[in-house]
Amino acid sequence: MFRLVTRRYPPSLVVTIRRRRFVLPIVAAALAFVPLGAQTTAQAQSEPPVDARTWLGHAAEIESYLKTVQMLKFEDLSVGVTKPKRAFLPEGGPMKYLAWKMIPPARYDGYWESYRSEIAAYELDKILELNMVPPAVDKVYRGEHGAAIMWVSPTKSFKELGGTGSPTPPARLQAAWNRQLVRAKMFHNLIANLDPNLGNWLVDPAWNLILIDCSRCFTSDQKMTHVLTRVDPTLWDRMKALTEDALLKTIGPLMASRGELRAIIRRRDAMQKIIDALVKERGEAYVFMKDGF
């Protein structure tokens, strides 16, 4: 159960790692999520639910902290073929833990993975102003490079909430939640996240969607993970503005080769064809979301 945290930087909780592949349905599962736990009704009415995205407006500070903070001890996470760890941090900082992924670029369990892909997903999130991917930076520990990722809390994964798809928000938040799901699917298609699962989609008490575990992304694969039926027009305009040269300057150093950058543009162009076909079939008014479904 979640409790309201009033400090400036609530402790964070990151992500579990994937076990199985799934395609997230847009239709929400009939599952209630009570983010405020055992709080009284009066408290719930007088205090807003916690927004776990505490990096928003403080990204540079969080990135600097992740790069420089001392990792005191490690705890193995229970899932993940690449053995990610939870690193315990000194008291008094903006977070109690970070997720430490020291994954040299290689093929693991049939998938190409790299710690650099975690960082690239965050950097592209910033370019697109998606605000769903927690800060991730390149950090050196005992001479080895890895991704230090903000541990976002309070959150629960879709898997922890016990459903087989998306949880159901309060009715007043349904339209905004639908838009977030569409935006997440668009982003996953762009970065070639071929192995999403219920453990890697997080929701906080304010019903913000947070995406984690992107180490298998940014390959040259052109397959669309999610079937698009609706499109967020603001995000799509930002995706259409992406160029290979601009990406080369921002996330280029994190890619295995320039081919992975070109693959982003090819996937974007493939999405354009899908969207054009949807508009022809259903009309712009349906395809391009305004206030949700």
71-129 pLDDT per residue, tens:
999 999 876 667 799 999 999 999 999 999 999 999 988 889 999 999 999 999 999 99
If asked whether residues 201 and 279 sit together in one domain, one would say yes
Q: What is the pLDDT of residue 81?
A: 62
| All residues at 6 or more sequence positions from 258 whose CB lies less than 8 Å from its CB, including other chains | 244, 248, 252
If asked whether residues 172 and 131 sit together in one domain, one would say no
Residue found by looking up tokens 């040269």 in the block: 245
Mean pLDDT of the chain: 86
Q: What is the pLDDT of residue 18?
A: 39
Phi, psi of 106 (to 5 degrees): -175, 180
Q: Please, which residues bridge with residue 85 across strands?
A: 76, 100
- For position 48, which CATH number holds? 3.30.200
List b or e across 91-116, with b for residues whose CB sees 16 or more CB atoms inside 10 angstroms.
eeebbbbbbbbbbeeeebeeebbbbb
Q: Which domain holds residue 48?
A: 41-150
If asked whether residues 202 and 279 sit together in one domain, one would say yes
Contact in structure between 79 and 17 (CB atoms under 8 Å): yes
Estimate to the nearest angstrom the gap between the alpha carbon of 157 and the chain centroid: 11
- Structure-block tokens of residue 154: 């309070």
Does residue 123 sit within a domain? yes
If asked whether residues 165 and 118 sit together in one domain, one would say no
Domain boundary among 150, 176, 211: 150
Query: In one letter, which amino acid is 262?
Result: R
Does residue 51 sit within a domain? yes
Contact in structure between 115 and 137 (CB atoms under 8 Å): no
CA distances (Å), origin 277, targets 188, 222, 291, 293: 20, 18, 22, 19
Does residue 18 sit within a domain? no
Does residue 75 sit within a domain? yes
Query: In one letter, which amino acid is 207?
Result: W
Does residue 281 sit within a domain? yes
For 77, the 3-state DSSP assignment is coil
If asked whether residues 136 and 173 sit together in one domain, one would say no
Beta strands in 38-131 (DSSP E): 73-76, 85-88, 97-101, 106-108, 111-113
- At residue 9, does pLDDT exceed 70? no
Domain boundary among 133, 150, 167: 150
For 180, the 3-state DSSP assignment is helix
Domain boundary among 150, 166, 187: 150
If asked whether residues 174 and 282 sit together in one domain, one would say yes
| DSSP sequence for 15-38 | ----SS-----SSPPS-B--TTTT
Number of domains in the chain: 2
Q: Are strands 144-150 and 156-157 parallel, antiparallel or unpaired?
A: unpaired
More confident residue, 17 or 225: 225
Residue found by looking up tokens 């992406």 in the block: 242
| Enclosing H/E stretch for 123 | helix 115-128
Does residue 74 sit within a domain? yes
Per-residue pLDDT, averaged over 10-29, amounts to: 39
Write the pLDDT tens digit of every residue in 144-201: 999 999 999 999 999 999 878 899 999 999 999 999 999 999 999 999 998 888 999 9
For the four alpha carbons of 261, 56, 11 and 198, in that order, the dihedral sign comes to negative
